[in-house]
A and B are shown apart, each in its own frame.
Chain A
């Protein structure tokens, strides 16, 4: 039976050595912050447990999450990582199409009721009854609710599924809605980022396979092991921040010396992700390593926080678009001016009153 195949069976058949397999298990344990002995437990799970059946949905998105996922580096090549899961349905990359493809999805939902993982890329537009995103002749939101009903858990891949991303930026014309606001009856793990780091995605899947449960999540539903710290906390330029050494312009000496990008609007201090430790493209680099500030792509609503190049970002709360500095200074100057006018009026009033009193007193004296 092909359904009882383990991850280990699959990769051995593909010619991956046991040595490489054990390396993968150690790397995964390390990246999840587990004790060294846990790599044995991961290996055991990979050898004995049936692969997790996965239905992978694509809603309103750009597929950068899939692109990232198939580039997972440690240490196995993309197609082997895909073997870790039993990817039954993925309308983007599966060979079948049309009714055949949809039949596969139906079959998985029946055969693995309550067992399969629903992985979602993209959000669901709800305006106009979901007309903005149709898959298999139905609004995507409807497909999403249907598939989530019998799933064991739902993984929201990337910024779109987690928070909405660019298509939900103001004014959000399609009313794009992230997965956790559409699927209300199942646990949703958010793996935000645009895209998320490949090793983070495989790490989350490895954890689920090994321990048969959700990884520990933070208040916003993100796995703590990858989203527990800010980019800033582990940034290799942090020393320059503490020393007060900043890039002030893109072509200045500080930029050449690799100083901190705080003043250039780097969102590292407010962004929770593993970029500064895991890095990208097989550990080659990450935005700050390449001399550009972090955009904060794994944070809620990062498109609506004004320029990527401002430290003090714009606010929209008062129906205006200005930063805290201009709003604050404007109000302070306004109040200061009002106080000055009031003070002047008080002086005038007091002088006039004094004059009146004096006149009154001298009038009484004469009378």
Chain B
């Protein structure tokens, strides 16, 4: 009973949580609000959309085993393609929204779209992060927003989304037909790659690129959450970046 009370007790003098014996490592953690709710919502929507797109896309390229029975009773490929197309639309619309929020949101919302390539501190930070990943330094630096390496990977991810949206809509325009708005806006992509089959191949490679990205993204997020000096995963849920120590840098 008393132990539990101790845990929650606030020191009346400092106004801070009371420190018990054995809690010497306890510090006051600073937290900074980083990600506004549209960014967080967009992030988790991406998780859902990309899983759906990856799975349905895989089954468009390599369809499920043949269905048996009357043709009129089945619509397997039809449904899979329908889900892929609808989710593709969702992805494209949410991407447009994300660009909008990069303009109207706080400065962290712009990090994935603009790289401060002309800033010396940014390059130094990138080098330090790289050294951290090569086990060459003992400790990473603190970053309120994205660290430079994360920022580069997010920037590439945005380009990737753009690539998948353009190739995806170009392929969709083939079914929508010549003269459709999809054809007028995205049809030029097909001769750019050669022919329709080439666009299919590149779009399919995009699925594997997504798997590679997801592997790296989840690994680094978990690793940073444990080993870096700030919170990671909870930041994408609450928007708050919490620092584990109060040393500068």
Binding site for B on A (CB under 8 A): 218-220, 224, 228-230, 233, 239-246, 248, 254, 259, 262-263, 267, 269-272, 296, 299-302, 305, 311-313, 315, 324-325, 327-329, 331-332, 335-336, 339, 342-343, 345-346, 349-350, 353
Contact = CB atoms under 8 A, between A and B. Distances in A.
A244 B76 CA distance: 5
Nearest to A329: B208
A328 B208 contact: yes
Given A219-B191, A242-B78, A299-B195, A328 B207 contact: yes
Contacts of B66: 244-246, 248, 254, 259
Contacts of B71: 239-240, 243, 245
B38 to A, nearest CB: 30
Given A219-B190, A299-B196, A243 B65 contact: no
A244 B201 contact: no
Contacts of A332: 208, 211-212, 215
Q: Which of A220, A230, A244, A336 has the most CB of B within 10 A?
A: A244
Which 4 A-B residue pairings sit nearest by Cβ, starting from the closest? A328-B208, A244-B76, A270-B196, A243-B74
B178 A224 contact: yes
B197 A270 contact: yes
B61 interface: yes
B212 A315 contact: no
Contact of B195 (A241, A300, A331, A343): A300
Contacts of A241: 77
Nearest to B192: A219
A328 B204 contact: yes
B59 to A, nearest CB: 9
Contacts of A325: 61-62, 204
A270 B71 CA distance: 23
B216 A324 contact: no
A243 B75 contact: yes
B200 A270 contact: yes
Q: Which secondary structure dominates chain A's binding surface? A: helix
Contact of B219 (A262, A272, A296, A339): A339
B127 interface: no
Given A220-B191, A243-B71, A335 B205 contact: no
Q: Which of B66, B72, B133 has the most CB of A within 10 A?
A: B66
A312 B208 contact: no
A366 B236 CA distance: 44
Interface in B165-217: 174-175, 177-178, 187-188, 190-191, 194-198, 200-201, 204-205, 207-209, 211-212, 215-216
Contacts of B138: 353
Given A248-B65, A346-B223, A301 B78 contact: no
Given A324-B201, A339-B216, A230 B62 contact: no
Interface string B200-244: 110011011101100110010001000100000000000000000
B205 A301 contact: no
B215 A335 contact: yes
Contacts of B62: 311-312, 325
B64 interface: yes
Interface in B38-93: 61-67, 71-78
Interface string B88-118: 0000000000000000000000000000000
A297 B219 CA distance: 45
B197 A313 contact: yes
B135 interface: yes
B169 to A, nearest CB: 15
B208 A219 contact: no
Interface in B126-150: 133, 135, 138
B211 A328 contact: yes
Nearest to A163: B195
Given A243-B67, A245-B67, A335-B216, 18 more contacts: A219-B188, A219-B190, A228-B178, A229-B178, A244-B77, A245-B74, A259-B66, A269-B196, A271-B196, A301-B194, A305-B198, A315-B205, A324-B205, A332-B208, A332-B211, A335-B212, A339-B219, A343-B219
A324 B65 CA distance: 20
Contacts of B197: 267, 270, 296, 299, 302, 305, 313
Contact of A312 (B67, B177, B204): B204
Contact of B135 (A229, A242, A302, A349): A349
Contacts of A267: 197
Contacts of A299: 195-197
A245 B191 CA distance: 31
A252 to B, nearest CB: 8
Contacts of B177: 228-229
Contacts of B200: 270
B215 A243 contact: no
Nearest to A336: B215
A269 B174 CA distance: 9
Contacts of B74: 243-245
A101 to B, nearest CB: 37
Contacts of A246: 63, 66
